[in-house]
Amino acid sequence: MLALVRAHAEGAGAIHSLSAEARVSFYSAHGARKGKMIILARRPASLHFSALSPTDDLVAFLASDGERFTSFERGSDVCEVGPACARNVGRLLPIPMEGAELVGLLVGQVPVIEHERAVMSWDARAGAYRLDLQDGARQQRLWVEHGSGAVRRVELWRGDEREVSVAYDDRHLHGGIDLPHEIRVEAARDAIDLKVRYREVELNGTLDDDAFAIPCPEGTRAVEAPCVGDEGG
């Protein structure tokens, strides 16, 4: 079963870039937001998010080339810039991951943790195999479809606390590549509940460097955003 999961992950690894229009909704300890978003992702860690109004006006954007990021919200005279750590990359789409991990998540790639112990069982309620992997206090649980090896859901635990869960749904083939069109992320930190649903998708198109290194809008004041509080950042 692990071999099937890894084979499926390798298929997602064939995705080098993604361009998508998406509907995004999220709720967290800091508020809620929903609406249309243009998402660009390019390996290894380049990201671009443009949040749009119902009339397709730009509300906010965040761009990162994997080294630096820029973020701006309409109506503000401040434009945030700084290193592309998880804290900064997650300022618009609040997923607590480093850039390369976030690119992988957006294209449906599920990393499998190094582990000392693996147990497989059939989860009749979910109608899928469940894999439990353990590495010391860290655990990973994966629910895997029979036959295809596609991962429906993955959870990361530390001791008795579930830190993050990601669910994948509504899968489509694009040139033979399987891509989930609905991704839901729940994270204990900041009580995050986020759903991304792709509407229009292009895989492996050419994305220019300029899309990930956007300057601050004219008339705004650039403010350096530190990575204080980021694990390893």
Summarize pLDDT for 14-41 with one digit per residue, the tens. Answer: 899 999 999 999 988 778 889 999 999 9
Query: CATH for 2-224?
Result: 2.50.20.10
3-state secondary structure of 61: strand
- Which residues, 6+ apart, have CB-to-CB distance to 129 below 8 Å? 1, 120, 121, 122, 123, 143, 144, 145, 146
Closest CA to 25 of 212, 182, 163, 172: 182
Q: Residue 232 — very low, low, confident or very high, per pLDDT cuts 50/70/90?
A: very low
Q: What's the CA gap between 178 and 150, in Å, rounded? A: 9
Cα(172)–Cα(186) distance, integer angstroms: 23
Domain boundaries, the chain: 2-224
Query: What gap in Å lies between CA 138 and CA 158, rounded to an integer?
Result: 5
pLDDT tens digits, residue range 34-61? 999 999 999 999 999 999 999 999 999 9
